[in-house]
Amino acid sequence: MATEQDTAQPYGEQSDLEQLYERLVETGLAKLAVYAGLGVFLVWTLFPVYWLVTATLKTRETLLSFPPQWIPFDAQLGNFAALFAQRPEFFQFILNSVIVTIVTTIIATSIGAAAAYGFVAFDFPYNLDFHLPFYILSTRFMPPIVTIIPLFVIYRSFGLVNTLPGLILTYVMFNIPFAVWMMKGFFEEVPRSIVESAMIDGHTHVGAFVKIVLPLVKPGLIASAIFTIIITWNELLFAIILSQNASAMTIPVGLASFITKYSVQWVNMSVAGTIALVPVLVFAFVAREQLVSGFSMGAVQK
Amino acid sequence: MATDTQFGSASEDAIVSAGDEGPRERLLLWIDDHLKWLLTLPAVLVLFSLTFVPLLRALEISLHNYIPTGRRFVGIGNYVDLLSNGDFHTSLWVTFKFVVAAVGVEFLLGFAIALLLNKKIKLRGLWQTLILIPMILSPTVIGLIWRLLYAPSGLLDFIIGQPLLGQNVGWISEPQFALISVILTDIWQWTPLVVLVMFAGLQSVPDHIREAAIMDGASRRQRFLHITLPYLKSLIVLVLIIRVVDALRVFAKVYILTRGGPGSSTNVISMQMYRVAFRFSNYGEAAAMAVSLLVVVLILAMSFVKIAGVEF
C-alpha cells in the first residue's frame, strides 16, 4: 500500500491540510471521495447521450414535460417508422453516408498503409523518410476552414460540388495523415528479417508485403479503418459546403438542415440523431483499446 | 537453420523463379525496383494537391475582389479592409473569449479528474472507455443533444433555470447566455481528452523518482509541484496547443447551436468566414481572414513551444 509509505515519513513537514488528508486516507473517506468525483464526471459525460437516446421513445409532450420524464416507461416504438414516413429523404442521407464512408475508408486506409510501409521499409534521399511523414502529419494542424474556400472554388470549376466523389476526395485527404501515423507504428514492430527471408525464398517485395507483412498488421489496419469510418461518418463542415442539395447530403448535413428547418420536431430530430450515433458507438466499442491509446498514449510518445 | 525456414509457402503465385522472364515477371520486378515511390507518392501527392495547392489558391483568392461577373485584383486591399472591419474584430473577440474559457476549464477540470483517476481504482479501463463517447460523436449529434438540453422548459431549465432564477433561461437564444452555453458544450466534449492525455502522462512518471522523493520526505504537495508538474511540462504544453488550435477553428458546434447568433454573440471567426464566403459570396475577404487565421495559429503554436522551452 502506497499509503503506508506516505504516512511513515520520518521528517516530512506536513501542513494541517495534509495531515487531514492522511487521516482521510486512513479512514477510507478519501477513496470514497475519489470514486464520487469520478462517478459525477461519468454521469455528466454520459447523461446527455442517454437523454438523446431515450428521447426517441417519448412523445412530443413527455419530451419537454415539466418535471422531466427521466425514464420513458411508455416507449413509443413507432417513432422510428414515423421519421421515415415524414422525411423519406432521410433514406437518401443514410445511403450517401454509407457509400461515402465505405469508399473513403478503403481508399484512405490503403494509401495510408502503403505510404507508412514505404517510409518504414526504405531509405530515402535527403532524409525524406523523416521529412515527408512529418509534412503529412503537419497538414492535420491546418484549420480546415482555411482550405475550404479555395477547395470550393476549385471543386466548382471541376463540377465536383454536390457530388459524392467530391466529398470522398476531401475525406481521403482528411484521413490519410492519421492512417500513415498509425500504420507507421505497426510496421515498425514487424522485424525486417521476416521480409528479407521471404524475399530470399523467391517472393517479390510486393508479394512479401501483401502476403506476409499485411496479415501481421491486421489489428492496425482495422484500427485505422475504424478511425476513418468514425471521422468520415461524422464530418459536417466540408459536407455542408460541398453538398448543398439533398441528393449528395450525408446524415450530418441532412440532420443539420432538419434541425434548423424543423427545430420544433424534437422527436424526429432525436430519432435521426440516434441513427447517426449508433454506428459510431458500435465501431468505437470494437476499437475501444486503440481509441483510448490513440487519444492518450499517442500524445505521450510524441 | 533459419535459412531453411519456409516463409509463406502457401503463396506460390508471388514467387518469381529465375530464368522465367515473361511480361508478368518483368512487371513485378519493375514494381519492386520502384516500390518505395509507388508506395509513398500517392499519399504525398493527394495531400500536396489538397492542402498545399488550396493554400496557395487561398493566398491568390485573398488578393482579389469577387463580383458576380468575375473578379478584380485588389492587392492587399482585403487585408487592409480587415483592419477596420467591425464584424471581423467582434468575431476575433468572441473567439478569444471562447478559446480562453473553454480550454482553461477543460485543462483544469481534466487535470483534476486525471489526478483522481491516477489513484488505485477499480474498473479504470471501463471508465476510460466510457468517457471517450463525447469525443467521437458527430458535431451535429452533439449540437442536437445540447439543443434538447437547452430547449425552453428543457432539462437545464428544470435543474438550473427554474429553481435558481425562477424562470426559463434562453440558453442559446439570449445574447448574455449563448456564448456560455456554447462553451459549456465544448467543455463537455473535450474535457475527456485532457483527462486521457494527462492520465497517460501521470502514469509515465517513473516510480523511482517518486520513491526517491518520498524517501527524502517530500510532502504530497511538494512532490506534485516539484516532480510531477515539471515532468509533465511538455505534455501540458502539447495538450494546450492541441486544444487551443482546435478551439480556434470551432465551427460545427456553433453552426448547429446558434449559427453565430443571437446578433453576433457567438459569431466565432470560422462562422464569420462562412457567412462572408457562402452567404455574401465575398470569397476574397473570407480568404484573407482564413490566411490571417492560419498565421495566428502558426505563431501561437510556435510561441507556446518557445515559452515552454519544449523540444519536439
pLDDT digits (tens, 9 = 90+) for A168-212: 999 998 889 888 888 888 888 888 888 888 888 878 888 888 888
Nearest-angstrom CA–CA distance, B209 and B54? 49
Express each pLDDT in A244-259 by its tens digit: 888 889 999 988 888 7
Contacts A44 to B, Cβ<8 Å: 188
Residue A67 has pLDDT above 80, yes or no: no
The set of cell numbers assigned to B208 is 523511482
Q: Between the CA of residue B181 and those of B58, B105, B178, what are the distances in Å?
A: 33, 14, 5
What is the distance in angstroms between the Cα of A64 and the nearest Cα belonging to chain B?
Answer: 6
Top pLDDT among A108 and A4 is at A108
Q: Where on the phi/psi map is residue A59: left (φ > 0), alpha (ψ -120 to 50), or beta?
A: beta
Residue of A71, A300, A301, A302 best to disrupt the B interface, most CBs of B under 10 A: A300
Among A11-20, A187-196, B182-191, B272-281, top mean pLDDT goes to B182-191
Which CATH architecture is the domain B85-308 placed in?
Orthogonal Bundle (1.10)
Measure the CA angle with vertex B197, ends B211 and B137; round to 5°: 155
The answer to whether A206 contacts B140, with C-beta atoms less than 8 Å apart, is no
Helix A29-55 and helix A16-27: axis angle, to 10°?
70
Say what the ipTM of the complex is.
Answer: 0.81
Q: What are the φ/ψ torsions at residue A203 (nearest 5 degrees)?
A: -70, 150
Contacts A213 to B, Cβ<8 Å: none
Confidence of residue B14 (pLDDT cuts 50, 70, 90): very low
Express each pLDDT in A70-116 by its tens digit: 877 777 777 788 788 888 888 899 999 999 999 999 999 999 999 99
Mean pLDDT value across residues B242-251: 87
The answer to whether B113 contacts A111, with C-beta atoms less than 8 Å apart, is no
Residue B144 has pLDDT above 80, yes or no: yes
Nearest-angstrom CA–CA distance, B261 and B274? 13
Q: Are B36 and A118 spatial neighbours (Cβ–Cβ below 8 Å)? A: yes
Q: Which of A172, A205, A252 sits opposite B140 (nearest CB)?
A: A252
Cβ–Cβ contact B42 with A under 8 A: yes
The set of cell numbers assigned to A289 is 483499446
Q: Residue B195 has what pLDDT?
A: 92
Measure the CA angle with vertex A267, ends A266 and A268; round to 5°: 95
Exposed/middle/buried for residue A231 (C-beta within 10 Å: 0-12, 13-18, 19+): buried
The set of cell numbers assigned to A220 is 492496425
The answer to whether B55 contacts A269, with C-beta atoms less than 8 Å apart, is no
Contacts B152 to A, Cβ<8 Å: 64
The answer to whether A38 contacts B55, with C-beta atoms less than 8 Å apart, is no
Domain residues of chain A, as ranges? 2-55, 82-301
Q: Are B197 and B239 spatial neighbours (Cβ–Cβ below 8 Å)? A: yes
Express each pLDDT in B52-90 by its tens digit: 888 888 888 889 887 767 778 888 888 988 888 888 999
Domain residues of chain B, as ranges? 23-78, 85-308
The model's pTM: 0.83
SS3 (DSSP) at B73: strand
What is the distance in angstroms between the Cα of A138 and the nearest Cα belonging to chain B?
Answer: 10
Q: Residue A191 has what pLDDT?
A: 86
For A270, name the nearest residue in chain B, comparing CA atoms only: B144
Query: Maximum CA pair distance of chain A?
Result: 77
Top pLDDT among B293 and B99 is at B99
Express each pLDDT in A128-162 by its tens digit: 777 777 777 777 767 777 788 888 888 888 999 99
Express each pLDDT in B203-229 by its tens digit: 888 888 878 888 888 787 888 888 888
- Three-state SS annotation for A244-267: CCHHHCCHHHHHHHHHHHCCCCHH
Q: Are A179 and A224 spatial neighbours (Cβ–Cβ below 8 Å)? A: yes
Cβ–Cβ contact B192 with A under 8 A: yes
Mean pLDDT value across residues B101-113: 95
Which CATH architecture is the domain A82-301 placed in?
Orthogonal Bundle (1.10)
Q: What are the φ/ψ torsions at residue B179 (nearest 5 degrees)?
A: -65, -40
Contacts A21 to B, Cβ<8 Å: 220
Nearest-angstrom CA–CA distance, B38 and A175? 19
Residue A12 has pLDDT above 60, yes or no: no
Closest to B305 in 3D by CA, of B248, B249, B245, B246:
B245
SS3 (DSSP) at B66: strand
Which string of DSSP letters, residue by residue, matches chain A?
-HHHHHH--SS----HHHHHHHHHHHHTHHHHHHHHHHHHHHHHHHHHHHHHHHHTTS-HHHHT-SS--SS-SS--TTHHHHHHHH-THHHHHHHHHHHHHHHHHHHHHHHHHHHHHHHHHS--GGGHHHHHHHHHHHGGGS-HHHHHHHHHHHHHHHT-TTSHHHHHHHHHHHHHHHHHHHHHHHHHTS-HHHHHHHHHTTB-HHHHIIIIIHHHTHHHHHHHHHHHHHHHHH--HHHHHH--SGGG--HHHHHHHHHHHSTT-HHHHHHHHHHHHHHHHHHHHHTHHHHHHHHTHHHHH-
Q: Terminus-to-terminus CA distance in chain A, angstroms? A: 32
Express each pLDDT in B145-178 by its tens digit: 999 898 887 888 888 877 787 777 888 888 888 9
The answer to whether B255 contacts A15, with C-beta atoms less than 8 Å apart, is no
Confidence of residue A165 (pLDDT cuts 50, 70, 90): very high
Measure the CA angle with vertex B163, ends B157 and B166; round to 5°: 80
Closest to B206 in 3D by CA, of B233, B227, B234:
B227
Q: What is the mean pLDDT of chain A?
A: 82
Residue of A46, A63, A145 best to disrupt the B interface, most CBs of B under 10 A: A145
Q: Residue A298 has what pLDDT?
A: 52
**Where is average pLDDT lowest: A270-284, B1-15, B42-56, B116-130?**
B1-15
Q: Residue B4 has what pLDDT?
A: 39
Q: Which amino acid is at B136?
A: I
What is the distance in angstroms between the Cα of B300 and the nearest Cα belonging to chain A?
Answer: 12
Q: Are A294 and B196 spatial neighbours (Cβ–Cβ below 8 Å)? A: no
Residue B18 has pLDDT above 70, yes or no: no
What is the distance in angstroms between the Cα of A75 and the nearest Cα belonging to chain B?
Answer: 18
The answer to whether A41 contacts B51, with C-beta atoms less than 8 Å apart, is no
Which single residue is written with the C-alpha cell 463542415? A237
